[in-house]
Structure 1
Amino acid sequence: MSTSPDRYLDQAVDHALRGPDRDRNPRVGCVLVDTAGTVVGRGHHGGAGTPHAEVVALTAAGPRARGTTAYVTLEPCNHHGRTGPCAAALHEAGVARVVYAVPDPTEHATGGAAWLAAQGVPVEQHDHAQAQALVAAWARAAVLGRPHVTWKIASTLDGRVAAADGSSRWITSPEARHDAHALRSCVDAIIVGTGTALADDPALTARTPDGSTLPRQPLRVVVGHRDWPGGSRLSEGQEPALHLRTHDPFEVLDALALLGVHSVLLEGGPTLAGAFWAVGCIDELLVYLAPALLGTGRSAVPDLGITTVADTARLELADVDRVGPDLRLRLLPQPVTDHPPAAPAAALATEPTPPAPSLQED
């Protein structure tokens, strides 16, 4: 039997899921519960520029909000944006207690819990796995100031993504490919370069083992200047692929952030990933490693400009699992402290880059 906080936070999560899947703001839900345990108000955030979940719930409850406990999936905000601070709205409505699941990680909105406590309103943070999962991608992006980027690689043991003749289907097993499709359905966007779009004509959809499309589909993004031909699979579907005509990773991520993208999967060739790596915009690597050798062929990793072992790019092995006959490794780049930070986006157009390649795979 669920405890009361879990029970009501479950309901708040259910309402939060009614909000837009891809938006600049997180999905948030709120329920107001009176002293008899009756829910008197429910609300969810409908997207950037609309009232926050707490305000929607307060409006629904009206005078019955006084004396209630508010169960909210995310800490009530404490800032004036296009809407007022939710912490103040809850206090003004006479809410007697606030239970929230996830602390707000943003500098401009955090502090609502502390503000309410200072006004004499009891506040409790209650861990809730579903609420945490609901905002995980948004929270990572909020801390980074841009979408979170995962570089996905499927390679042989000797780091090859294609044979000498260019063939690459299939290096990894059906189980690994199905696992990767499940990953696609969890991210907000998939990015490839125009070189991959022209060479492979990928669909970039998330599919089940029988080929059916999964309910949740990522935004498909192609980066580069060249057009792909009419009839391409990237032009099919309810939402054709977005074409960003740039070679600048910062411009790509800025454009996607404006579209409410919080998580990105790089599925293009090594040139595309190398450009993101060169400017410090790779947050994790997901490597599907097949127990196979090619000896020659296209490398999974481009020239990173590393000329000595002392400068080796070290990775932290965060997780490893077996997927069919293959291994799936999740790796985190180790922070570099003895090198200058990457050049800002504006400088990339005028300053020469190190030997790592640009997006000009096209």
Structure 2
Amino acid sequence: MAQPAELARRRMSSGAWRPWMQRALQLASLGAGRTSPNPLVGCLVLDRSGALVGEGFHRQAGTPHAEVHALRQAGARAQGGTAIVTLEPCCHHGRTPPCSEALMAAGVSRVVVAMRDPDPRVAGGGIAQLQAAGIEVISGVCEAEAQALNRSFIQRVQTGRPWGILKWAMSLDGRTALPNGSSQWISGPPARAWVHRLRAQCDAVLVGGGTLRADNPLLTSRGQRSPEPLRVVLSHSLDLPSTAQLWDQSEAATLVLHGSDAPPERQQQLDHLGIEHLALPDCQPKAALELLAQRGCNQVLWECGPELAAAALLDGCVQQVAGVIAPTLLGGLAARTPLGDLGLVDVNQAEPWGQQRLQSLGKDWLIELQR
């Protein structure tokens, strides 16, 4: 057990490293939307005198990790220096060699870590390997910020499902469409541009058959991400139109998930269109997300109708809600609302959401809630 003097030294050290770690976190965020199934990671290298001599971030899955980029830039100046990394260095062989070994080979004397890696293949092993090599490790610097940055990665590793974001646009009186189904456009151009940026940060965008039939969406980031997020349609019976923008895969791939009892002729229609489709024994949101997690998706966006949105919430597949509110009134008792029945019989049964954020998007307002 560490003595009081040692604990005091660690606290002082953590405070001194915070500005550097914040810079590393900023670098890590530059990889948003391109690293899945890997986490977002940033790294700095300081020489013996404390001067910045290298920095980098993980740019894309399958490419060198943040530590490698920073160490390459630092070169021989990393010897005896300090590496500052937002996530515990990996210690296993994947598509790239272990970063813990790269740090040891570079001869750094200290590694400052924001958070431990929840991946069972690491889970403290990277830190232990560095310490066994005589390298000082200071951990927990900006830990909360690092965990927030990699919330999607943590969610997938710990639950086997991606982080789910449920998004909708509605009028001030809570309508997402008129009684006749007209819905384009409730929100203005700034809000729609925000949606494109949000899609670019996600690995997949999910809709139901009803949304596909009613809106014929494109569901891309409009070129803000390459490759575009996977477009996923969840439809039990495959009652889908023969023509849809999603069937054109020149811009983005499309996957259709359906029930095991979907009519064979409808499955054959998708085969003819060249659309990948898979049967799920339980064609529900949870099963869909578990499959997407197996495909390496860390974060998914639900852009679906009220019934599927309610099912996703009830299935525990939504960790974040983003509602765009337009300063308009649509009216209509039969007009569509964002959510279907959640099974509540008393308003006190509604659980409160935390981490609220409000911002303006042109004439519209965005409210974000998070579990």
Tell me, yes or no, whether TM beats 0.5.
yes
Change (3 A) 1:63 1:167: closer
Q: 1:195 & 1:138 partners in 2: Cα distance? A: 30
CA distance in 2, matches of 1:180, 1:16: 18
Q: Deviations over 1:29-76 (max 9, x none)?
A: 65666547695998958636x876657888999999764533434211
Q: Which is worse superposed, 55-64 or 119-128? A: 55-64
Q: In structure 2, which of residues 191, 200, 204 is the aligned counterpart of residue 176 of structure 1?
A: 191
Identify unmatched segments of 5+ residues in structure 1: 208-212, 334-362
Q: Are the equivalent residues in 2 in contact too, given 1:72–1:100 (CA < 8 A)?
A: yes
Partner of 2:112: 99
1:122 matched to 2:136? The reply is yes
Structure 1 residues 264 and 166: CA distance shift in structure 2, 3 A = same
Identity %: 40
Q: 1:227 to 1:51 in 2, by over 3 A?
A: farther
Q: Distance in 1 between matches of 2:52 and 2:201?
A: 34
How far apart, CA to CA, are the structure 1 residues paired with 2:120 and 2:133? 21
57 and 321 in structure 1: CA distance in 2 versus 1, 3 angstrom threshold: closer
SS, match of residue 292 in structure 2: helix
The correspondence for 1:222, drawn from 225, 233, 238, is: 233
Q: Which moved more, 1:118-127 or 1:190-199?
A: 118-127
Report the counterpart of residue 338 of structure 2 in structure 1.
Answer: 300
Deviations 1:3-23, CA, capped at 9 Å, x for gaps: 999779968986996899143
Pick the aligned partner of 1:269 from 284, 305, 323.
305
Deviates more, 1:289-298 or 1:307-316: 307-316
What is the CA–CA distance in structure 1 between the aligned matches of 2:38 and 2:70, rounded to whole Å? 18
Give the Cα–Cα distance (whole angstroms) in 2 for the partners of residues 176 and 23 of structure 1. 26
Instruction: State the distance in 2 between where 1:41 and 1:277 align.
Output: 40
Q: Distance in 1 between matches of 2:360 and 2:44?
A: 41
Q: Structure 1 counterpart of 2:306, which letter?
A: P
Shift of 1:151: 0.9
SS in 1 for 2:176: strand
Matched pairs, number:
325
Render the CA deviation track for 1:99-149: whole Å, top value 9, x for unaligned. 334442445523233553465422235549998787453234334432111
Counterpart amino acid of 1:263? Q
Amino acid at match of 1:232: A
Who is 1:311 aligned against? 349
Letter in 1 for 2:309: A
The alignment status of 1:188 with 2:200, answered yes or no, reads no
Structure 1 partner of 2:319: 283
Give the alignment partner of residue 110 of structure 1, picking from 123, 137, 141: 123
Q: Distance in 2 between matches of 1:163 and 1:319?
A: 28
Distance change in 2, residues 1:183/1:43 (3 Å): closer
> Cα RMSD between the aligned structures?
4.1
In the TM superposition, residue 268 of structure 1 has moved relative to its aligned partner by 0.9
**Gap runs ≥5 in structure 2:** 1-15, 259-279
1:191-249 deviation per Cα after TM superposition (whole angstroms, max 9, x unaligned):
10122112221101124xxxxx4345322111114164455211233333222224221
The code of the aligned residue for 2:311 comes to A
Structure with the bigger percentage of helix: 2
- Pairing partner for 1:257 from 270, 286, 293: 293
Separation in 2, partners of 1:47, 1:121? 28
Calculate the TM-score normalised by the size of structure 2.
Answer: 0.69
Q: Residues 5 and 71 of structure 1 are in contact (CA less than 8 Å); yes or no, is this contact kept in structure 2?
A: no
Normalised by the size of structure 1, how large is the TM-score? Answer: 0.71
**Judging changes above 3 Å, is the alpha-carbon distance between structure 1 residues 122 and 286 closer, same or farther for their aligned structure 2 residues?**
same
Q: 1:243 aligns with which of 234, 244, 256?
A: 256
Q: What is the Cα deviation at residue 332 of structure 1?
A: 3.1
